[in-house]
Structure 1
Amino acid sequence: MKYAVIGTGYWGSNHARIAAELKAEGEIDEVVLCDVDESRVRELAESYGVRAATDYERLADLGVDAATVSTPSTTHHEIATRLLGDGVDVLVEKPLALDPTEAWDIVSTANEAGRTLAVGHIFRHHPALCDLKQRIDRGELGRVKYLATNRFSFRAPRATTGTLYSLAVHDVDISNYLLEDRPEWLYCSMDSVVREGIDETATIVMEYENATSVINESWQVPVFGKRRDLVVVGSEKSAYIDYLEDTVLELYDSRIVERDGALSAREEGKQVYETEHAEPLRAEVEEFVAACRGETTLSAPGSVGAYTVELLELAERSSDRNETVRVEGPALAETPGRVRFDQSR
């Protein structure tokens, strides 16, 4: 397999490292790094002893079989559809696109071309989160009632995309992933004060049939340093993950009990579990390569990425209108399709 990495900026350089490691281990045969910045891509390619290119439109002519697209989000549709149409399997970094129509068009192009399309929802490969997902599926937490996510830091807002598409894209998908469900109602509030048109703070509330997910994202919170965590509250146990610690999962044996008609809180301590270490990005790329060979299925196929973009668009609409919006669409287990914006409460 000849593998290409398109875009060699901060995150793309990590993809280049992973590709070079897989080549050294014999998992892939050749690597091509591609970027419009010729000096940067040639320097990086030389450091790994691989080929450099500057024109993604010629990658199929070079015999590339599969590629990662880690360019700016505004270019994902153009690059991904061209590669898929040329017969190249593609892993697109999140978000799949910045517009639902473009996102679903990428999915349609992959289906029509019979190619593999994956989306970089990397937290589906986070070791502690994967462990938590297995425990939820086994019923250890009982019925999941509530999820709360915080991603806080203090930095200047990006010039291209705000916290909704840069940060909340992760947590919207994580909620759907853990619950194996889709929200019925969604509310979002965003602030754009520092840089006009770029949200530096976003709060989303997603109501599912039996659970609520509250997502808080901000680049304007200087009091925690960098904070990224998740709380999941179940009827039997609750869980806590600090995303900055890839392998640690905390379970709290706490529940509300009824005795003689009276309710009381029972807390019986917590257990800390350490999962096996695995770099999420490497696990993501390895799974993609295996899926291209027909050896496994994808944790985050293109339809997952497109649906997440749909929900982000509804979040924007909710914020603009200051309304809670109803989400209508097929059940998660059904064939994915466009969700529909219905009406406010």
Structure 2
Amino acid sequence: MSTAVDDTPQQSRRKAPLSDRARSERNLGWLLSGPAFLVMLAVTLFPILYALWNSLFQFRLTDPEGRRFVGLQNYATALGDELWWKATGVTAVITLITVVVELVLGFLIALLMHRVVLPRKTLRTIVLIPYSIVTVVSAYAWLYAFRVDTGFVNYWMNTLTFGAFGEGFNWFGSFWPAVFVISLSEIWKTTPFMSLLLLAGLAQIDGAMEEAAAVDGAGFWQRLWKVVIPNMKAAVMVALLFRTLDAFRIFDNPFIMTGGANETSTLSMVVYRQTIERMDIGLGSALSVLLFAYVVLIALVFVKGFKVDLTEGK
């Protein structure tokens, strides 16, 4: 009796063998997506391998004849530099702030777009406007809005506080105010992207499940936590993964707004300065590989942490 009881869970966890139809559909999927997958693999794999190869050399464009093999010395130099770890901390702070706020706001906007019936297309078009603006353009707009000499934010803050705020406050003169403006600009621009991904998850939820929960007496918050969110776990994971990876590679906003002043340099800015401005291809390639390793690690943490089978959509 005990043996039968112990074996039942193991048998239930075993996956059923694929049918002939499922096997043929899977093979057809690989056949159709295979060429595109190979092209994408070649396009992305070559730069990665080339950067990895260059990272093993001391190589400056200003001294092409001085190229020599140094092994892992560039990685030791990068990891031993305090600037790299400061940039890692700044990037992590901005990523955490923006992704968390965007998740909350994006979910609220997605709920609104999902519930509204009449002006649904108009509402979705309006929501997408910030995301359609080029990042450089939006970054300059936020820069001019918060600058002491050209901005209107200080004027309105001073007006609303009856002169207590002061019009001479320099938002980019210290670390946390600058991070606040950078994060705010990121949230304004990319929250629509988050909301669209979450809206796709909401659209996959069977309305009958919510109706059944309402009939059983569940309130709005109970239906939200017990029915809606658990059934859109895959959409939440994809939204968080995409936005976290994108936010961790942030470059435009801090580069335009602060230029890295007051210790606001991000990882992408460090890589840019080393590779483009100093033309140090060897060390710059090592920094690029380390940034790529960060991105891969983040992706693995999300996929393993959420434990979502995207092939089954749950």
TM-score (norm 1): 0.21
TM-score (norm 2): 0.23
User: For the pair shown, which has the larger CA radius of gyration, 1 or 2?
Assistant: 2
Structure with higher helix content = 2
Structure with higher strand content = 1
